[in-house]
Structure 1
Amino acid sequence: MESIMNLFNQYGYIILTILLTLELIAFPLPGETIMTYCGYIVHQQKMSWILSIIMASLGGIIGITISHFIGKMLGRTFFEKYGHYIHLDTAKLNKISKWFERYGLWLIFVCYFIPGVRHIMGYFSGIVKVPFKKFMVSAYLGAFIWTGTFISLGKFLGKNWSLYHSLISKHLIFILLILLAIILISTMIYYFKYRLKKVQN
């Protein structure tokens, strides 16, 4: 991690984009730690908060898009034979297939917050041939929220970014799901109020 931090301190935004691209292609990199550290640098006012989120999101988007097209091009048979090299063997494919049947495109959206799943979700979505427009909406929005969450977390924690990172990241998926539920309920209430007002008028 120290060598990654040294690279980050030298190249900033560019290395942030490259590292997150590589992680979403399934390289074993600590993306959440990198982003939280980036937030700490933002806290020190050495980097821009908005630009950091944009560049980090770009890295995630590039990585998951590349893996999506690789999955689509090579197909399930290839990954059943060679997928164990990126932890995407037959057992993992079957497991994610069941999750995908249950949660659909929401799984692509939240996969970034699930260690061991975000690295292979792009490949899986390509293997099952998720339409690119639908994939793009879920994956790209998810990338923005994922990067924004951890960079903002590092910015908020400041010099304590490393002390609380592991604890918070364990529970972040549950926090995210609660927030999504609140947003969904609020949207539904707003929609029904709007429809009711139109009917009354």
Structure 2
Amino acid sequence: MNFETIVNLFSLHGYIILFGVLTIELIGAPTPGETILTYCGYLVFRGQLNYFLTIIIATSGVVLGITASYLLGILLNETIIDKYGKYIHLGSKNLEKVSNWFDKYGNHLLIFAYFIPGIRHITGYFSGITRISFSRFAANAYIGALIWTTTFITLGRLLGYNWNIVHTHLKDYFIISGITLIIGIFIYYKYTLKNKNTK
């Protein structure tokens, strides 16, 4: 679904479209989340939307979407990973190791992965597949959802008529920062695992 189509629907259905689009994005649909949120911030700037209500509705849509992907991840674990995981070195033993690591260190990923297109779409699934506890998943994923939606809605509100600058400058900054964080977590994980194996 392209941005122009979403804008046209938004003019007719407003908050309902915001909620629905963000829900299906976090389930895996290729929708421009940051663009939508920043545009909503611009509409807040123009007085067409309420700032706090927009954040609440946007965050609720994200929460519903990533929770659905988490539950689907649990289903995938039972039906697919158990059967075919060994072919991609993700058998039951390796899956348990990944699950333990993700349960211990994945909170940072769950919070900041929203800022990386493509990554935020799989963190819910991976959380379910690796069976991290729902309480830990929810605590971090839901906080991340609030931070992500508030950040881009606020940016759109502050930038006003220049709201689309996000897509030429700031978006790249967030992506680079997020990728750097994930690489750092991965290196730390590999280093820690290597040290444990040498002891």
Equivalent residue number for residue 45 of structure 1: 47
Within 1, Cα distance between the matches of 2:128 and 2:71? 6
Equivalent residue number for residue 60 of structure 2: 58
TM-score after normalising by structure 1: 0.74
Deviations 1:100-142 (A, max 9, x none): 4884211111111111110011000000001001111000010
Q: Please list every run of 5 or more consecutive structure 1 residues that lacks an aligned counterpart in the other structure.
A: 83-89, 179-201
Amino acid aligned to 1:54: I
Equivalent residue number for residue 168 of structure 2: 166
Amino acid aligned to 2:44: V
Check 1:56–1:69 CA distance in 2 against 1; reply closer, same or farther (3 A cut): same
How many residue pairs are counted as aligned between the two chains?
168
Amino acid aligned to 1:134: R
Amino acid aligned to 1:145: I
Shift of 1:165: 2.7
Equivalent residue number for residue 114 of structure 1: 116
1:34 matches 2:15: no
Q: Please list every run of 5 or more consecutive structure 2 residues that lacks an aligned counterpart in the other structure.
A: 182-199
Q: Secondary structure at the match of 1:10?
A: helix
Within 2, Cα distance between the matches of 1:164 and 1:143? 18
Amino acid aligned to 2:74: K
Within 2, Cα distance between the matches of 1:164 and 1:114? 14
Check 1:142–1:103 CA distance in 2 against 1; reply closer, same or farther (3 A cut): same
Equivalent residue number for residue 14 of structure 2: 12
1:142 matches 2:144: yes
Equivalent residue number for residue 22 of structure 1: 24
CA RMSD of aligned residues (A): 2.9
Tell me if the contact between 1:41 and 1:155 (Cα under 8 Å) persists in the aligned partners: yes
TM-score after normalising by structure 2: 0.75
Check 1:163–1:140 CA distance in 2 against 1; reply closer, same or farther (3 A cut): same
Check 1:152–1:81 CA distance in 2 against 1; reply closer, same or farther (3 A cut): farther
Amino acid aligned to 2:128: G
Deviations 1:153-181 (A, max 9, x none): 11111111113433101112539x99xxx
Structure 1 stretch displaced more, 20-29 or 165-174: 165-174
Within 2, Cα distance between the matches of 1:104 and 1:56? 23
Within 1, Cα distance between the matches of 2:83 and 2:118? 19
Q: Secondary structure at the match of 2:69?
A: helix
Tell me if the contact between 2:116 and 2:174 (Cα under 8 Å) persists in the aligned partners: no
Between the two proteins, what is the percent identity of the paired residues? 49
Within 1, Cα distance between the matches of 2:43 and 2:18? 12
Check 1:81–1:168 CA distance in 2 against 1; reply closer, same or farther (3 A cut): farther
Tell me if the contact between 1:36 and 1:165 (Cα under 8 Å) persists in the aligned partners: no
